Chains A and B, each alone.
Chain A
Amino acid sequence: MFSFNQTLKPLLTRFGSMPVAILLLVLLAVASVIGTVLKQNQDQADYLHQFGPVWYWTFRALGLFDMYHTWWFLTILGLLMASLGACLYRNVPRFLQEMRNRKGTLSDNARKHMEYKFDVTFDDKDKAVATVKSSLPDWKWLETESAGTLWLRGDKGRFHKWGYISVHTAMLVILVGGWMSVQFGFRGNMAVPEGASENEISYLRGTGVEYLKMPFEVRCDEFSINFFSTGAPSEFRSKLTILEDGKEMMSSDIIVNEPLYYKGVRIYQASFGDGGSDIKMNLFRLNGEGTVDVANTKVYTKFEDPYSDVSMEIRDFRPYNIENMAAAGKPKKFKDMGPSVDFVIRGKGLKPVLVRSFMEPFYLEDNNQGSMIMISKTGDARDFETYMLGLDFSNKKEWALFQSFLNRLPRTEGATQQDNLAAFRAALDEVYPDGRPDDLPMLGNRVIQSMQVLPDMPWPFVPILDSFDQTYYTGLQLAKDPGMDVVWIGSAILVFGLCIMFYVAHRKVWIKVVEDEGKVTLQVTGLSNRNPVAFEQEFEDLKEQINTAYKQGAS
């Protein structure tokens, strides 16, 4: 048989002790540091690449990639809760006892070791006692008779121990609230394209993704973004409708910082992206015949070129590309480069690269510099390099001019400048029969640049964005958190307790009223559990105050 007192109590005492608590706090802090240094919930392939197989599997076994949900981290939190509980169990009865019991007397030996004390002598006992009490008006007084001597004990801030009790209780309440959130709540993301609806959220757990069906459907009726002139989004707004069994239950707009609340679930605006926009690209064939094909496709789909083995995997569409054109350190100059489409181009013998194709040509000081594309050889958007194509592909006449010029160029060796110029004039006459275009010098430059660039193109065509019909998806976060209110209650108690702990000092005075030959001497002793600097001053003032008040009362 084991009894509570013999077996559990020492365990509880040990568990609620300071060293155990400190150890747990240090463990928690160190573990938390690991979680911040090692990026959490990234792609597994990235981790493998970053750490190599040995460390990857070690870290994975320890659950370090989703550390805050591992059993051992949760165990630390659980032990902390147990330790807090044990600490409260051990100390609260004692604190309550201490607050209730106020010893009215003070032994001479104890007084000898106290720092703050003084004696004052008066004539009238009753008046002296009354003066002391009125000098410390808010204090709680207790009168005790001990061995024929009157003792006064005054207390101020007697309930400061409630500070400790509430702070530690609050921590326990917050941890319980957190546990409730994890146990009975959920939090995940869903992406809803404009016009579509969705009823499943996904979230990361450990090294995988998990899904959860919602008891309702969310439809995105409309999504809109406003931009600052720097190109940064200033607001994104989703018009959402909640459906249950196909019935519309409610409609509401949400923006960041203003979520929607439906049946215990909060729906937050979290992100946005392309919801599969319709993309039309022109493919300018580099086959010498000037053929232009049309590629009708969508974001997130793959376009297979029917005339070659080249494919384009459409990744993203951007309606604006606002860039700072100024050199570093110069006043900023923002410019919108217009819409663009990102795709990965693949084919036999081709190195797969990420391409960003712009719809509009690039203008420098109102001069048309021709179309441009950006290419990233690594596939990372940060490594984009700009390539000027020369021709303005948004104007099909320029392509025709280029082809005509190319076909008329004398093929023989030793062709003179004169011959080339004649070929260009003839091409101009063919494409622009009604007169020369206005920016002829620039046009000439563009065609010449194209002559140098286009023949080096590894692809069978030049893909240029022609038109688009944009659709967004709205990135929503859905969360149900039954522990949240518990956490707020705990937080309120915590702040309340901290204020008591820090700003209420328990100050005590003992006064022994010693009568001797018609005179009365007050032996005053003071003690404060906190802020000795302020108390020293206060105690100094008290002596002065008692003397003055006694005299004023006498006159």
Chain B
Amino acid sequence: MNAATTFFGSEGSFFEGRLAHTRFWTYLGIIAGMTGLALFGEGGYVEDNYLFELFSKQGATWLAGGAVLGFALSFIKSASKFRAFRTAEMFVPWLDGAVVMLALMGIYTLFEPTSAMITYEDQSNLVSGRIVMAMNVLLLFSAICYIAHLFAPASFIGQLATFTAWAGVYAGGSALLLRWYESYLLMGGDIGHAPVSNLYEVFILLFCVICVIYLTLESRHQVRGLGAFVLPIVAAGVFFSIWLESIGQADIKPLVPALQSYWMKIHVPLNFVGYGAFAVACAAGAAWLLRNRIEQRNPNSAMLAVFPSLKMLDQLSYKAVAIGFPAFTLATILGAAWAAEAWGGYWSWDPKETWALIVWLVYGAYLHARFSHGLHGKTLAWWAVIGFLVTIFCFIGVNMYLSGLHSYGQLT
């Protein structure tokens, strides 16, 4: 492999080789710059000012410094090892996607109504609400297409399903970013905060996470049949979030003091990477169980051609847990770190904490069953499904039925 192809990737692709590697490290540098600004920036971390600080002179210095540092670092890592690019190639599309979402958000802001039409009391004029509605429609449509694809396996329907799911992800992600910006338009910028502070917002985040994890698996392993199980889960969530909006839970509200911390931006999204991955694992488990049933009852069913093989489904379910479990563990540890800083102890046996532990034990046991006992197939498929039910209770049930220190997730 000569230098030119190494630099531009084996096929000169934007997402491969040196180009991806350099971009990846530059992104990492920018993220490090953002972290540095939050931790060491002049004036300290102020929740309702952070977003604007990023665009101030100080913020620009931190970001540009990080970017340059990352860019430089990318050349230190030996270019001769082609494998070194693999991590970058894996993550760079996601980070590119984030940049696209940021750009979309920038475009939406142009359509924001004049400040006279936006008040805290009446938030119905904000653009993000409309984008979220578009996301809802796209995801519901995608779910229908995926299910239709099972029965009418025309490639066109499948492509449409994948395309609308991606469109939904971009709509949701950019709407969330826009909501972050919009929170600064209310009450004279006093209540600005990251859009991960209530059930409605984290639901949108969850849809995006589930879809991104699933769509990545889909493109890597050509398993479009699985979408008919993943997207309906998302669709159910969409209905729930529409209901939340109808009872007035979609408003941007000020943050209680306990949540005014940069930890929120790390702890919450990481937790939802875990939840989202467990949802995909559940879908793969359900698909396994259904395929198994169809194979027994009607081995010649045309539907089987669309389904991934049992072995593949078993693997996908495990892969999803392999994404979710470390993310969930890290999220819980970081949550403990935050608790140590805000509540005076890293573990308080608060219902949410305890249920997070239970979820962790369930998936820990799943992994033990798989590796120590060599279990595969049916038992683990059921385990993934039931594990997700426990996860749902941890996510929503605890907020609705049990009180505790995490009560800001409650419906009011």
* Contact of A494 with B333 in the complex, beta carbons under 8 Å: yes
Residue of A nearest to B44 (CB): A258
Residue of A nearest to B84 (CB): A138
Q: Does A270 contact B (CB under 8 A)?
A: yes
Interface Cβ pair total, 8 Å cutoff: 134
Residue B343, interface by CB 8 Å: yes
Name the contact of A29 in the complex, choosing from B336, B349, B358 (C-beta under 8 A).
Answer: B358
| Cβ contacts under 8 Å, A258 to chain B | 341
Docked pose: A316 CA to B261 CA in angstroms: 30
Assess whether B122 is in contact with A36, with CB atoms less than 8 Å apart.
no
How many chain-B residues does the 8 Å CB contact rule pick out? 57
Whether B361 pairs with A25 at a CB distance below 8 angstroms is yes
Take A228-B254, A502-B322 as given contacts and tell me if A487 and B354 are in contact as well, using a CB distance cutoff of 8 Å.
no
B120 at interface, CB cutoff 8 A: yes
| Binary CB contact string for chain B from 329 to 343 against chain A (1 if under 8 A, 0 otherwise) | 110010011001111
A532 at the interface (CB under 8 A from B): yes
Interface residue stretch chosen among B23-31, B139-147, B295-303, B364-372: B364-372
- Is B83 an interface residue, CB under 8 A from the partner? yes
* Interchain CB contact under 8 A, B315 and A532: yes
Consensus secondary structure, chain B interface? helix
Q: Which residues of B contact A228 (CB under 8 A)?
A: 187, 190-191, 254
- The A interface is mostly helix, strand or loop, or mixed, namely mixed
Residue total for A at the interface (Cβ-Cβ under 8 A) = 60
- Once bound together, how far apart are the Cα atoms of A499 and B322, in whole Å? 9
A22 within 8 A of B: yes
Question: Which residue of chain B has the shortest Cβ distance to A326 in the bound complex?
Answer: B121
B358: nearest residue on chain A (CB-CB)? A29
Closest to A328 in B: B248
Report the bound CA distance from A181 to B256 in whole Å. 29
Q: What is the chain B residue whose CB lies nearest that of A334? A: B121
Q: Which residues of B contact A503 (CB under 8 A)?
A: 322
A268 contacts the other chain (CB 8 A):
yes
- Residues of A within 8 Å of B124, CB to CB, are 331
Report if B355 contacts A (CB, 8 A): yes
> Which one, A231-239, A291-299, A352-360, is touching chain B?
A231-239
Interface 9-residue window, one of A53-61, A100-108, A476-484: A476-484
B187 touches A32 (CB 8 A): no
A268 near B354: Cβ-Cβ < 8 Å: no
The verdict on A255 contacting B329 (CB below 8 Å), with A33-B358, A533-B312 known, is no
29 contacts between A and B (CB under 8 A): A25-B365, A26-B365, A29-B358, A29-B362, A33-B358, A36-B404, A138-B81, A181-B346, A228-B190, A228-B191, A229-B187, A229-B190, A230-B120, A232-B256, A234-B254, A234-B255, A236-B257, A257-B341, A259-B341, A268-B343, A331-B119, A332-B120, A478-B344, A481-B346, A495-B330, A498-B326, A502-B322, A531-B319, A533-B221
Interface on B for A, CB 8 Å cutoff?
Answer: 81, 83, 119-122, 124, 187, 190-191, 221, 248, 253-258, 260-261, 263, 312, 315, 319, 322, 325-326, 329-330, 333, 336-337, 340-347, 349, 351, 354-355, 357-358, 361-362, 364-365, 368, 372-373, 398, 402-404
User: Which 6 residue pairs across A and B have the least CB separation, nearest first?
Assistant: A331-B122, A36-B351, A256-B257, A477-B344, A228-B254, A479-B344
Which A residues have a C-beta under 8 Å from some C-beta of B?
18, 21-22, 25-26, 28-29, 32-33, 35-37, 39-40, 68, 137-138, 178, 181, 187, 228-230, 232-236, 255-259, 266, 268, 270, 326, 328-329, 331-334, 477-479, 481, 484, 487-488, 491, 494-495, 498-499, 502-503, 531-533
